[in-house]
């Protein structure tokens, strides 16, 4: 009888099994060899694809660019997202809270392609910003089809995920702690710096980890806003499969990028656990 | 809650699903319907009304699945190997050739049953491919936005007047033709594209973006974000329909590209062959050249006047070995990305 509730896990386990099988197949392919100019692959098992990817300057540069941009995007998302989450958690103004939430939900619900094209209208050579600059007698700036455009697009995409994750952590901080600090003479700024911020760091790291994972796997915005110049992992994998059609090599490339992403996320996970111990006490959970 | 998830209920639900599936499956197998794997712009701008006529004539309904590019189509075709959800695949000739290397993907063209096969121009067919049209790969531009209102050569695009004004195709688009054109201009060729990649690196300042999406680039040209797009002749028609005046020139070297149809192995080869025969028919080819501004592959159809205007001059056109491109495009792309990356 007790086993029955576990039946509810069956669909999830089945889905996981399918994902695992697909991944296993994908890794298996990475050890085969492509027949040049065709869609066929053959054995025997080899590490040549991994050696080829590791020796590729493009793959190396892509890994560096992806990690660098994902880090920058996460940092910018945190800088923009923290105040928004704080407003949502603590602002006494219902109107302000609702306005911020509405803005985030609209962002959340609008499709990625729509947002990318909207950013092109704003950031393009003849976009709103450049038209304004020209009208003011200034020179236009290149905001789209480069890393700037991609960063803006991805940060906008990540913001709701970050804010809503951090919001839960901020709401878990007892208001009484802030009130006690205020009663003991701390200014609002001191309360924030010495009470709220330290206690929110585990939540901040969780939200940042989620954002970092989203930035690492960004595809649409680099594709549409990168102008073919911004090489992030997903886009390079996609382009390589469309031009080289060497499935084993692409599989090896994707596997290596995945390992790199998992290593980066493991590092963030470690940071999250450390921060929980340091700032929120040994028993803290995020 | 326990009763809801009782074994008897689960078994009943499962049995119902099995019965429904069993009752639907034979009907599907009998269905007179084919599915095209096709680019959305080609479907909406050209094939949709023709397919309606095909359905009226033959009783075979036509459904579609969308591919973003020929190469993405190949990935899909390979993924559904043996049990394809599409029956006719629109693709570029070179990609069809690559797909044909896998004997499990494409059905041979039943030449004897295709009454219009004999009328297809030289180079437009293979054992698994029938061209639907051809086009020159050239320069589409806004005359109101370029100096003097006219472009005559590829070399002009390297001039300072075009700084941040060009939309050029990434190597995955048109199977690396941009690299090959630049290579020929710089004294290289299909066997040595390095001079071409260096030449493209020299144009970096002029390129607003390297596109992997036709609609994105067309939109940018329509909005004046860029004044030049290097692409196919169908863009002229598409933009004219939107009220945007553009011109096209196909200077030397002007690659000629065939795109067309293949039949996927999946049990509906006969119905798919009927569709292919319509594609290469005089009637459809006339529409293709007049409506879509592409070159007709049926010998009995003359290129429409507007299309003839954008064709390269005698001696300016060039074709490339698709097998060589298939073998080398990946390497070229990697070098290109290294050269032009930010």
Q: Is A125 on the interface with B (CB under 8 A)?
A: yes
pLDDT, position A252: 94
Measured distance CA(B184)–CA(B155) in Å, rounded: 12
Q: Containing domain of residue A106, as a range?
A: 58-280
Instruction: Give the pLDDT confidence of A160-203 residue by residue, as tens digits.
Output: 999 999 999 999 999 999 999 999 999 999 999 999 999 999 89
> Is A51 among the domain residues?
no
Is the pLDDT score of B116 beyond 50?
Answer: yes
Share of chain A above pLDDT 70, in %: 95
**Residue A31 domain flag:** no
* SS3 sequence of chain A: CCCHHHHCCHHHHHHHHHHHHHHHHHHHHHCCEECCCCCCEECCCCCHHHHHHHHCHHHHHHHHHHHHHHHHHHHHHHHHHHHHHHHHHHCCCHHHHHHHHHHHHHHHHCCHHHHHHHHHHHHCCCCHHHHHHHHCCCCCCCCCCCHHHHHHHHHHHHHHHHHHHHHHHHHCCCHHHHHHHHHCCCCHHHHHHHHHHHHHHHHHHHHHHHHHHHHHCCCHHHHHHCCCCCCCHHHHHHHHHHHCCCHHHHHHHHHHHHHHHHHHHHHHHHHHHHHHHHHHCCCCCC
Q: For residues A134 and A119, what is the distance between their CA atoms, to the nearest angstrom?
A: 18
Peptide bond preceding A136: is omega within 30 degrees of 0, i.e. cis?
Answer: no
Evaluate if residue B102 carries a pLDDT over 90: no
User: What digits encode the pLDDT tens for the residues B152-197?
Assistant: 999 999 999 999 999 999 998 888 999 999 999 999 999 999 999 9
Residue A64 located in a structural domain: yes
Asked whether B140 and B226 are in contact (CB, 8 A), the reply is no
The pLDDT assigned to B71 comes to 82
Domain count, chain A: 1
Residue A218 lies in a domain: yes
| Of A125, A144, A229, Cβ closest to residue B341 | A229
At A2 the pLDDT is: 62
pLDDT at B5: 41
Residue B226 pLDDT more than 90? yes
How wide is the angle at C-alpha A58 spanned by C-alphas A57 and A63, nearest 5°? Answer: 100
For residue A58, list chain B residues with Cβ-Cβ distance below 8 A.
Answer: 334, 337-338, 341
Tell me: pLDDT of B80 over 80. Answer: yes
Q: Are B310 and B316 in contact (CB under 8 A)?
A: no
Residue A46 has pLDDT above 90, yes or no: yes
**Is A57 in contact with B338 (Cβ distance < 8 A)?**
yes
Tokens representing residue B1 in the block: 């809650």
User: What's the confidence (pLDDT) of residue B20?
Assistant: 46
Lowest mean per-residue pLDDT among B23-27, B264-268, B272-276: B23-27
Interchain contact A243–B (C-beta under 8 A): yes
Point out the least confidently predicted range of A2-11, A239-248, B125-134.
Answer: A2-11
Q: What is the pLDDT of residue B215?
A: 85
Q: What is the pLDDT of residue A270?
A: 87
The pLDDT-based confidence of B28 (bands split at 50, 70, 90) is very low
Instruction: Quick: pLDDT tens for A146-164.
Output: 999 999 999 999 999 999 9
Q: Whole-angstrom Cα distance, residue B210 to residue B204?
A: 10
pLDDT of residue B188: 95
Output the pLDDT for position B51.
Answer: 95
Q: How many CA atoms lie within 13 A of B261 on its CB side?
A: 26
Residues of chain A found within 8 Å of residue B225, distances taken between Cβ atoms = 120, 124-126
* Mean pLDDT computed over B58-66: 96
Average pLDDT for chain B: 88
Place A225 in a pLDDT band, splitting at 50, 70 and 90.
very high
Position B10 scores a pLDDT of: 47
> Is B98 within 8 Å of A230 when comparing Cβ atoms?
no
Residue B67: beta bridge partners? B39
Run of H or E including B195: helix B194-201
Residue of chain A whose alpha carbon sits nearest to that of B342: A229
**Residue B146: its pLDDT value, please?**
95
Domain presence at residue A88: yes
- Alpha carbon distance B265, B275 (integer Å): 15
pLDDT at B317 over 50: yes
pLDDT confidence tier of residue A286, bands split at 50, 70 and 90: very low
Q: Is the pLDDT of residue A282 over 60?
A: no
| Token pair in block for residue A109 | 């619900």
CATH topology of domain B31-135+257-309: D-Maltodextrin-Binding Protein; domain 2 (3.40.190)
In angstroms, the CA A285 to CA A205 distance is 12
pLDDT of residue B22: 45
What would the two tokens of residue B283 be? Answer: 């009637």
Q: Say how many C-beta atoms besides its own lie within 10 A of residue A270's C-beta.
A: 11
Contacts of A120 in chain B (CB under 8 A): 220, 225
* A36 contact B CB<8A: yes
Compute the average pLDDT of residues A74-96. 95
In angstroms, rounded to a whole number, what is the distance separating the alpha carbons of residues B91 and B68? 11
What percent of chain A has a predicted confidence (pLDDT) above 90?
A: 64
In a 13 Å sphere around the CA of A62, the CA atoms on its Cβ side amount to: 33
State the architecture of B138-249+318-340 in CATH terms: 3-Layer(aba) Sandwich (3.40)
The answer to the question of residue A6 being in a domain is no
Confidence of residue B56 (pLDDT cuts 50, 70, 90): very high
User: Quick one: tokens of A260?
Assistant: 């790199």
Say whether pLDDT at B4 is over 50.
no
Distance between CA atoms of residues A31 and A249, nearest Å: 8
Longest dimension (CA), chain B: 80
A38 inside domain: no
This complex has an ipTM of: 0.80
**Exposure letters A15-43 (e unless 16+ CB within 10 A, then b):** eeeeeeeeeeebeebbbbbbeebbbbeee
Is residue B7 predicted with pLDDT exceeding 80?
no
d(CA B325, CA B318): 14
B/e letters for B181-206, b = 16+ CB within 10 Å, e = fewer, are bbbbbbebebeebebbbebbeebeeb
B311 CB-side CA count, 13 A: 17
> Rounded to a whole number, what is the distance in Å from the CA of A130 to chain B's nearest CA?
11
pLDDT value at B8 more than 80: no
Domain boundaries, chain B: 31-135+257-309, 138-249+318-340
In a domain, residue A120? The reply is yes
Note the pLDDT of residue B1: 37
Q: What pLDDT was estimated at residue A22?
A: 87
The CATH number that applies at residue A223 is 1.10.3720.10
pLDDT recorded at residue B299: 95
**Do residue A227 and residue B74 have CB atoms under 8 angstroms apart?**
no
**Using an 8 Å Cβ cutoff, are B211 and B222 in contact?**
no
């Amino acid at each position: 009888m007790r086993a029955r509730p576990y039946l509810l896990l069956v669909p999830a386990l089945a889905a996981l099994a399918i994902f695992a099988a697909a991944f296993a197949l994908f890794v298996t392919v990475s050890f085969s060899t492509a027949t040049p100019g065709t869609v066929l692959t053959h054995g025997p098992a080899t590490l040549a694809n991994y050696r080829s990817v590791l020796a590729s300057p493009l793959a190396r540069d892509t890994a560096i660019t992806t990690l660098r941009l994902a880090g920058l995007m996460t940092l910018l998302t945190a800088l923009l997202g923290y105040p928004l989450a704080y407003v949502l958690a603590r602002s006494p103004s219902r109107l302000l809270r609702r306005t911020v939430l509405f803005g985030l939900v609209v962002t959340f619900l609008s499709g990625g392609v729509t947002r990318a094209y909207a950013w092109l209208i704003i950031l393009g050579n003849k976009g709103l910003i450049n038209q304004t600059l020209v009208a003011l007698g200034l020179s236009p700036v290149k905001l789209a089809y480069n890393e700037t455009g991609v960063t803006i697009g991805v940060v906008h995409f990540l913001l709701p995920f970050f804010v809503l994750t951090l919001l839960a952590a901020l709401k878990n901080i007892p208001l009484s702690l802030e009130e006690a600090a205020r009663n003991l003479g701390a200014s609002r700024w001191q309360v924030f710096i010495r009470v709220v911020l330290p206690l929110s760091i585990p939540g901040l790291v969780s939200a940042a980890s989620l954002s970092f994972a989203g930035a690492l796997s960004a595809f649409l915005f680099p594709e549409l806003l990168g102008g073919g110049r911004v090489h992030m992992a997903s886009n390079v994998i996609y382009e390589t499969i469309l031009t080289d059609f060497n499935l084993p090599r692409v599989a090896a490339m994707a596997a290596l990028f995945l390992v790199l992403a998992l290593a980066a996320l493991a590092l963030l996970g470690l940071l999250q656990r450390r921060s929980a111990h340091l700032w929120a006490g040994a028993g803290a959970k995020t | 809650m326990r009763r809801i998830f009782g074994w008897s209920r689960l078994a009943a639900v499962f049995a119902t699903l099995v019965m429904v599936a069993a009752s639907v499956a034979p009907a599907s197998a009998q269905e007179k319907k084919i599915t095209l794997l096709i680019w959305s712009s080609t479907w909406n701008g050209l094939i949709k009304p023709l397919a309606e006529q095909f359905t009226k004539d033959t009783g075979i309904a036509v459904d579609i699945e969308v591919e973003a590019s020929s190469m993405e189509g190949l990935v899909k075709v390979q993924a559904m190997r043996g049990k394809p959800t599409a029956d006719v695949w629109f693709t570029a000739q070179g990609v069809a050739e690559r797909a044909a290397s896998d004997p499990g993907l494409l059905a041979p063209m039943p030449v004897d049953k295709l009454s219009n096969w004999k009328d297809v121009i030289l180079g437009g067919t293979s054992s698994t491919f029938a061209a639907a049209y051809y086009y020159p790969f050239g320069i589409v531009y806004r005359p109101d936005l370029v100096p003097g209102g006219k472009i005559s050569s590829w070399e002009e695009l390297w001039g300072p007047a075009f700084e941040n004004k060009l939309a050029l195709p990434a190597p995955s688009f048109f199977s690396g033709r941009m690299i090959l054109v630049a290579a020929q201009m710089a004294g290289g060729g299909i066997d040595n594209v390095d001079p071409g990649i260096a030449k493209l690196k020299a144009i970096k300042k002029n390129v607003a973006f390297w596109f992997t999406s036709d609609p994105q680039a067309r939109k940018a040209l329509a909005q004046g974000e860029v004044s030049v797009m290097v692409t196919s002749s169908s863009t002229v028609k598409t933009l004219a329909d939107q009220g945007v005046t553009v011109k096209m020139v196909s200077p030397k070297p002007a690659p000629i590209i065939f795109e067309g149809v293949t039949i996927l192995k999946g049990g509906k080869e006969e119905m798919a062959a009927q569709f292919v025969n319509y594609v290469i028919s005089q009637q459809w080819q006339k529409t293709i050249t007049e409506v879509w501004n592409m070159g007709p592959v049926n010998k009995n159809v003359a290129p429409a006047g507007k299309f003839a205007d954008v064709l390269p001059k005698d001696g300016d056109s060039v074709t490339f070995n698709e097998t060589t491109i298939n073998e080398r495009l990946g390497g070229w792309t990697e070098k290109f990305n290294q050269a032009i990356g930010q």
